Chains A and B, each alone.
Chain A
Amino acid sequence: MNRVVSPRRWTLPVLWGGLVTIALASGWHYRQAVQSAASAAANYQQCQALAARIHSLRDRPTQATLVARTSGEWAGPIEAAAREAGLAPAQILRIEPQAPRRLADTDYEEQTAVVELEAATIPQVIRFLHAVTSPAQQLGARSLRLATPQRAATAESAELWTAEVTLNSFVFAPKMPTPNR
């Protein structure tokens, strides 16, 4: 014979279960809300600090570029600097860009280009260097070699020099994490 269970027998347990469930759910909801607000507050503080840092960094001169220069992009600033230094285009004997290379274990790559100037006076070389390494060009003179064209130069030609300048620029290229295999 089937046992008949009165619905009233289950009323109280169901009511209490519902109440306790509501209380537990409210507690969980409250905890989530508190944690979420705390996380938002921490994020907001960090965002404020990051924004201030961004403003500060934007005011600083850049030392690197995001993309590497193409070979054509080297010629422009070099020729402009040469013009500014009073050098004729023919006095630029060669521009020899090198392939970018990673600087050890850093997030930077260095690009270099060797520029050879012919029959330039020291003031011209100095003006050239000043112009080509101005902040706008984002270039540096990594090395300089000045030589007289011939050791047995005459007194009149001694002021003319062959200048070999190695220009460099940095590319900020963060390393991509290597995927695990």
Chain B
Amino acid sequence: MAIVWWQPDGEYAIAYAGEAGPVIERVEVARDAGSEQVAEAIVAWLRVHDCAQEPVLLALPSTACLVGRLPLERPAAGRDRTRLAFALEEQLPLAAEESAMGFSVGGRQALGVATASAGIEPFIAALLAQGLVVAAVVPTALLGLQHRLAQDMPVPADGCHGLLCQTDHGLEWFVMAAGKPIDWRHFPASDDATGLIRELEFRQLSDPPLVTVQAWGLPDKVLDDIGARTGLAIQPASPLDAASWALGVAAAGLELLRGRLEPWVDLRTGALAPADRWSPVRPQLRVLAAAAAILLLVTSAALAWRAQQWQRERDRLIDAQAAVFAEVFPQQSLPVGVRSRLESEVAKLAGLTGQTAELPSHPPTLALLGELLAALPTELRLRIWELRFDEGRLYLDGEVRTHGDAEAVASALRARGFVLEPPRTEQLPSEGVAMRITGAVQAAHVAGDGGRRR
């Protein structure tokens, strides 16, 4: 990354990050060289220093910048860049379409900075044609001031504060509010401080008033003279020479390119806006896109590989199902639905073997007959006319000698588990007693058939 000082008069300089800090070198270009030749010379220089693949920052001289003070009704109005642009356009001899504008908002004041696009646009286009990426276009003075304030002397956030900076191109006058420049004037280098004094006097009449005024690089005699004529108490700050000012500009520019510093004003807007707003991070985007593409490809390949493994596992399980089927039905060919075929077979076998609750059970008649015969008392004289087991019921018609014998027969049967009603008896005309014994077969008899349900 590098800083390119653009000078309409042909004085081009380039700064890059050296091992011990920023290094500034002058690029020799013919005064009558066109934008293309200048761009070629700069790119050639950058290639030599291995910086041609990185974004560059274009530093504009103060003489190429036009400024305007923009009072704001409320601080939030500073976010409306369109309205600020219209307000600034009214103060400038330039149409908004022919310029690039940037704004620095501090409280209820804003500083508008503009540059004519006609002068610098061909140069930027030539740099782009050479493959360079122009990340930002920033006034040199504001870059230098930003660096000085960060290094030497932060300005209090409350109130307005004046700053005077003597550079090798002239005198810069800034008014700061809320940590941002809200006014900026450039005075060409000359022994005559009339313009500056007039500006300061005007400033004294403006609102809000200056709280402090500090100066860098101005001789004490000059400060005393200005103080005497304006009534301002100017405090001299640390000494500043042209070389250290330029190094500060380069350092701030490099920090800006590294993304560690936010420029107060960036004129890579409007007519100077990049056609491709992502051009400053295009190389990183390419790397990101390549990484994403590789990630997608690797993920796809991994998924395909794992899917193939799962398919193999599925095939193995299907073969195992076929083996199970062949074991159960050795003579049958493999059906389409192995599981449903086995389920069907289970349902059929469960039905045939009575493993369902639906199959009704009947008392085991043969066992009941055996029980009954074994239960009949042998000491009584008994004749059976009819014996019937039906639907869990016992019917016994017979003949005994006395009514009591009938009860004895019933008691003997009860002792074997038959649940009987009291026997009905009737004296026969000839001799003997007719009896009828009815009752139910006990549950034990029903279940005592070795599990058979008939």
Say if the beta carbon of B311 comes within 8 Å of chain A: yes
Say if the beta carbon of B192 comes within 8 Å of chain A: no
Q: Return the chain A residue nearest B355 by Cβ.
A: A57
Say if the beta carbon of A99 comes within 8 Å of chain B: no
- Which residues does chain A contribute within 8 Å of B454, judged by CB atoms? 63, 133, 139-142, 168
Q: Return the chain A residue nearest B299 by Cβ.
A: A23
What are 7 residue pairs bridging A and B, where the CB atoms are less than 8 Å apart in the complex? A34-B310, A40-B314, A108-B351, A142-B362, A145-B388, A146-B386, A158-B383
- Which residues does chain A contribute within 8 Å of B314, judged by CB atoms? 33, 36-37, 40
Say if the beta carbon of A83 comes within 8 Å of chain B: no
Say if the beta carbon of A14 comes within 8 Å of chain B: no
In the bound complex, how far is the Cα of B236 from the Cα of A25, in angstroms?
Answer: 71
User: What is the 8 Å Cβ interface bit string for chain A, positions 134-151, against chain B (1 contact, 0 not)?
Assistant: 000001111111111001
- Which residues does chain B contribute within 8 Å of A61, judged by CB atoms? 353, 452
B339 close to A46 (CB less than 8 A): yes
- Which residues does chain A contribute within 8 Å of B310, judged by CB atoms? 30, 33-34, 36-37
A103 close to B360 (CB less than 8 A): yes
B352 close to A63 (CB less than 8 A): yes
In the bound complex, how far is the Cα of B251 from the Cα of A135, in angstroms?
Answer: 106
Say if the beta carbon of B291 comes within 8 Å of chain A: no
Partner of A64, one of B293, B352, B369: B352
Interface, chain B (partner A; CB < 8 A): 293, 296-297, 299-301, 303-304, 306-308, 310-311, 313-314, 317-318, 320-321, 324-325, 327-328, 338-339, 342-343, 345-356, 358-360, 362, 365-366, 368-370, 373, 383-391, 452-454
A168 close to B359 (CB less than 8 A): no
Chain B CB within 10 Å, residue with most, of A20, A29, A37, A106: A37
- Which residues does chain B contribute within 8 Å of A23, judged by CB atoms? 296, 299-300, 303
Chain A CB within 10 Å, residue with most, of B327, B369, B373: B369
- Which residues does chain B contribute within 8 Å of A48, judged by CB atoms? 324
In the bound complex, how far is the Cα of B321 from the Cα of A51, in angstroms?
Answer: 10
> Given contacts A47-B325, A54-B346, A126-B370, are A64 and B351 in contact (CB under 8 A)?
yes
Q: How many A-B residue pairs have CB under 8 A?
A: 195
Say if the beta carbon of A91 comes within 8 Å of chain B: no
The A141-181 residues at the B interface (CB cut-off 8 A) are 141-148, 151, 158, 165-166, 168, 170, 172, 174
Q: Return the chain A residue nearest B360 by Cβ.
A: A103
Say if the beta carbon of A98 comes within 8 Å of chain B: no
A33 close to B311 (CB less than 8 A): yes
- Which residues does chain A contribute within 8 Å of B307, judged by CB atoms? 26, 29-30, 32-34
Q: Return the chain B residue nearest A146 by Cβ.
A: B387
- Which residues does chain B contribute within 8 Å of A54, judged by CB atoms? 328, 342, 345-346, 349
